[in-house]
Amino acid sequence: MSEFLVNLLGERLVNSEKAEVDVHALGSKLSLVGLYFGCSLNGPCKQFNASLCEFYSKFKKSSEHKDKLEIVFVSSDQDQKHWQDFLQEMQWPALPFKDKHRKMKLWNKYKVTSIPSLVFVDAATGKVVCRNGLLVVRDDPKGLEFPWGPKPFAEVVAGPLLRNSGQTTDSSSLEGSYVGVYFSAHWCPPCRSLTRVLVESYRTVKESGQKFEIVFVSADRSEESFKQYFSEMPWVAVPYSDEGRRSRLNRLYGIQGIPTLILLDTEGHMITRQGRVEVLNDPECRLFPWHPRPVLELSESNAVQLNEGPCLVLFVDAEEEGELEAAKGLIQPISEKLMAKHKAKEEEMPLLFFVAGEDDMSDSLRDYTNLPEAAPLLTILDMSARAKYVRDVEEITPAIVEEFVSDFLAEKLKPEPI
């Protein structure tokens, strides 16, 4: 286990007293690491830090599992003095200020998109145990539910569900159906826009004879807002008054922003977290239930995924007939091989694959990342790290793509700044 943690965190951490902490010595009993992503200048981080200090102190004093948990601060501070002052408030160690490369790797690996964020991972494997640790701190202040691992959807959602007519149905009615778990709120304009499209998609799928239900999990700020918003929806909802169940569902899927639409198969296993993108890209629902595709064609609606981690983008001359399909065919086997490898390990894909033609979206992306106008052009873009990797050759072959991907994953490529 210690070898894995060294690979994940490095050999040395630092504590509030500026002393080094040997990662090997964190303890043989350690089973869970909470990666706390934050910044001293962020107001919500400072608020959460106070709550986390109280939680950590109680856990270390009274929990029977006190030796099984450690928190590690992963800072995005740019000023060392600010970072050091913030660290003074913490009872747990942190990644060294100068280890920016490792910090960025952790941000990418665990797909952190906002701060504060607390991700609990298995100390032996690095697999995510709970993505939304903020809710753990809020909902389980005594740490009684340690280690906060995922429970089956059917267990977390169990209980009555509402229809907008006022009638209720039991959650057991979802059995055997594809399920969309929809996190949304009336105060959020993108949510309202998605809801209008989703209503049509829901009806289209139902009319096709598929067993499909959506469960609305509200983030509204009042029951009145919830009722007003829910009146537009033909599906079921977790009662607004059941704050505990709503929170547990947020925790189960590590919701960091709304709108989010999670798609589950008929056994309750996740198909995709990208339901929003899929619904917008497929208004006729021809690809329902929207299993992840190995290669996406870059568009305005799926470009948001470029911000969620490293993405391979193959730019081609779309004016030549069949170029986009040929490009997909070239990189698809490589993507499928990578998907299969990480699915077998129950890990998320480390890289998304796109093809891009010549349109406004592709031009904007080239301009933003300062890429040459060449086509074909093979790139890997890492927006969160503001880094790009470019392979500009006359002919793109499967061997070139495979080597490019392999070298990137092995950290052999030198990044250029975006």
pLDDT tens for the chain, residues 1 to 418: 568 899 999 999 999 988 899 998 887 789 999 999 999 999 999 999 999 999 999 999 999 999 999 999 999 999 999 999 999 999 999 999 999 989 988 998 888 888 999 999 999 988 999 999 999 999 999 999 999 998 999 999 999 999 999 999 999 999 999 999 999 999 999 999 999 999 999 999 999 999 999 999 999 999 999 999 999 999 999 999 999 999 999 999 989 889 999 999 999 999 999 999 999 989 999 999 999 999 999 998 899 899 888 999 999 987 767 889 999 999 999 999 999 998 888 788 899 999 999 889 999 999 999 999 888 999 999 998 889 999 988 899 999 999 999 999 998 999 999 9
Entry pTM: 0.82
Residues in contact with 334: Cβ distance below 8 Å, sequence separation at least 6, in sequence order: 353, 398, 401, 402, 405
Nearest C-alpha neighbor of 69 from the set 112, 22, 35, 102: 35
Cβ–Cβ under 8 Å, residues 342 and 309: no
Distances (CA, A) of 342 to 125, 131, 346: 13, 18, 6
Q: How far apart are CA 70 and CA 146, in angstroms?
A: 12
Other C-beta atoms lying within 10 Å of the C-beta of residue 360: 8
Helix (H) or strand (E) holding 380: strand 377-382
Q: How far apart are CA 27 and CA 14, in angstroms?
A: 16
Q: How far apart are CA 145 and CA 129, in angstroms?
A: 13
Residues in contact with 142: Cβ distance below 8 Å, sequence separation at least 6, in sequence order: 58, 59, 62, 63
